[in-house]
Chains A and B, each alone.
Chain A
Amino acid sequence: MLRITNLHVQRENKTILQGVDLHIPSGQVHVLMGPNGAGKSTLAGAIAAWPGHEITQGDICHQGQSIVSLPPQQRAQRGLFLAFQHPVEIPGVPLSMFLKESVNAVRQAQGRSRLDAVEFLEQARHHMNQLDMNETLLHRCVNDSFSGGEKKRTEILHMCLLQPNLAILDETDSGLDVDAIQALAQGINSLRDNARSMLIITHYHSLLKQVQPNCVHIMNRGRIVQSGDAKLAQQVQQEGFEPFQKAAL
């Protein structure tokens, strides 16, 4: 599904990623952990084509095709989804309008029929119920004066509506209370199937208790320094990143 080879990425003329190799097969959930400044969000940004993330070397392949030259909207239309660490507030754009535009743009690009207002609302309500969200959020503007939890739940709602084949969740569990983490885990688990892959960037072990990952990667200083199964996340929880920092040097 996703294959990253020898990826070097610069931001503001500073090399952040120094040769990342990562392979996520279809149907697998991988977890990326690492200390602050390790390059986790830069990797997510580079996969989603965030402006300012300049790829100087290496390649990103999605479903066997290189996507490094594609603009962000085309990557999304191929089924790639990035849940933002800090979702952007857009006063003046109602959430319902944004979600509907987005869902229909992706459906249209994939040759599927557009959803009309009724069909869209039905789907949105269904997922909002699952995520324990208040429907009035739809009438408010995108992330405008949303609480931290509401913002993150909205990202998951969007993911559920778009049904991406590759989802990258950039610290979506940060700042969430226990109930919200459970709702998040439910959202993730409801999307898991053989055709969908996920990359979860996180600092915490609590989400991983409810979402069983296939593989855990530790990133440090712009490289993936160790990969393993769920036990690796437990080790991080107990010992911190200290042992891996030595490994990076």
Chain B
Amino acid sequence: MKEVPHVRMLQPDTKGFRQAEQHIAFERDTPTSLNTLQASFGKQQPLQAVVFVDGYAVPKSTTYRNVYIGWAPRDSNHILQTQLEIDDSMQTNHPLLLLHLATQDQCRMNALVELTVPGNSRLQLLECHASGLNPSYFCRNTLKIQLQPHSQLHHVRLLHNSREGQYKLNTQVHQQSNSSYCLHEISLSGTWRSSRTHVHLEQPNAQCHLQALDVGQRQQCSYHQMTVHHKAPHCSSRQLHKGLYTGQARGIFEGQTVVNKQAVHTKAHQLSRSVLLSEHAQAYSQPQLQIETDEVQCGHGATVSQLDEKALFYLQSRGIERHRAQQMLTEAFTQEVLQTIKPVWLRIWLQQRMQNTINALT
């Protein structure tokens, strides 16, 4: 671990560092935390982690045993730039946790993280944005991902635990030949959030699968943009956006698939489904295809609806109370995104979180 000028780092053995440690420990050890759950599944090995507290990097955290950070600052004008270097010492079959934690009120967190997944390797990235004590804060985060040939990345992004947060998240993914990128983006919290994901399929046979589950309540506002640029032949992409809005929440989805002239034999699919649980919730969906070549298979669709009355009646007619039937159908709606998340302990943890959120919603 080396220190680099211009990068905001917490110094060990300072008050700030100790506070950060406490918050990380809280985030790690609460009954709902990832680590506790992972341990309950018999995985004693701690998560490998990169931790940011209030936008500062925590260089040597005692609460996570394995912390990997490589530094590559360029014009670090209060922007943290971190380049994660994946090497042989990392166990790529264990998830890498990228934890952004807010502890102070009104703080602004800026981070630019670059990640390169080397050829022929496989990695799971677990990106969490959380705050233990509900401060209001602003988080601007850019994640640049390079996938080298024959590499695989499963990226799970979680926005949870932070009621008053505001997010502006940018994700740029550049994929080389035969690489595969899978994103699960689960957004549960924050008053305002904007997420833009741009995937560039630059070489043949690359594939990506983007899935977002967006839950809005109260006056939350969320904006999701997903764009896939097909730039090479024989690539495939799937986009799935699911929105669940109640109260006066608003959700906006813009999905775009761009197929360039040289991207023949492209397969692209795009679907957005939103369910409104209250009278004043709103959802806007705009799926777009921009195709500049022939010989492609592309499809898109969008629906905005309420819970299916026929299914509700079916459940009620078997003795289940309407309120519980609504919860069951709402949970079922989220399953399409959640059920493909791996490993199992993470999926179960997320399903429990989602269940709690839905019980509070309905």
Q: Looking at chain B's contact residues, is the secondary structure mostly helix, strand, loop, or mixed?
A: helix
- Asked whether A92 and B318 contact (CB < 8 A) given A50-B313, A51-B309, the answer is no
| Complex CA distance for A141 and B328, rounded to whole angstroms | 12
Q: Determine if A162 is an interface residue (Cβ-Cβ < 8 Å).
A: yes
Smallest beta-carbon distance B118→chain A, Å: 37
Smallest beta-carbon distance B140→chain A, Å: 34
- List residues of chain B with CB within 8 A of the CB of A48: 317
- B324 pairs with A101, CB closer than 8 A: yes
| Complex CA distance for A73 and B324, rounded to whole angstroms | 11
Cβ < 8 Å to A, chain B residues 307-325: 308-311, 313-322, 324-325
- B322 pairs with A71, CB closer than 8 A: yes
- B318 pairs with A102, CB closer than 8 A: yes
Smallest beta-carbon distance B332→chain A, Å: 3
- List residues of chain A with CB within 8 A of the CB of B335: 91-92
* Residue among B313, B316, B333 making CB contact with A92, cutoff 8 Å: B333
Q: Determine if A87 is an interface residue (Cβ-Cβ < 8 Å).
A: yes
Q: Determine if B329 is an interface residue (Cβ-Cβ < 8 Å).
A: yes
Q: Determine if B85 is an interface residue (Cβ-Cβ < 8 Å).
A: no
Smallest beta-carbon distance A66→chain B, Å: 18
Q: Determine if A245 is an interface residue (Cβ-Cβ < 8 Å).
A: no
- A73 pairs with B321, CB closer than 8 A: yes
Interface string of A122-165 (1 = CB under 8 A from B): 00000000000000000001000000000000000010001000
Q: Determine if A88 is an interface residue (Cβ-Cβ < 8 Å).
A: yes
- B332 pairs with A76, CB closer than 8 A: no
| Complex CA distance for A84 and B332, rounded to whole angstroms | 21
- B313 pairs with A162, CB closer than 8 A: no
Cβ < 8 Å to B, chain A residues 66-90: 71-73, 75-77, 81-82, 84, 87-88, 90
- B319 pairs with A73, CB closer than 8 A: yes
Nearest A residue to B317, CB-CB: A72
Q: Determine if B336 is an interface residue (Cβ-Cβ < 8 Å).
A: yes
Q: Determine if A93 is an interface residue (Cβ-Cβ < 8 Å).
A: yes
- Asked whether A101 and B316 contact (CB < 8 A) given A91-B335, A92-B333, the answer is no
Chain B CB count within 10 A is highest, among A50, A72, A75, A109, for A72
* Residue among A51, A84, A102 making CB contact with B320, cutoff 8 Å: A102
Q: Determine if A121 is an interface residue (Cβ-Cβ < 8 Å).
A: no
Q: Determine if A105 is an interface residue (Cβ-Cβ < 8 Å).
A: yes
Chain A residues within CB distance 8 Å of chain B: 48-51, 71-73, 75-77, 81-82, 84, 87-88, 90-93, 97-98, 101-102, 105-106, 109, 141, 158, 162
5 smallest A-B Cβ distances: which pairs? A92-B332, A92-B335, A76-B319, A102-B318, A106-B319
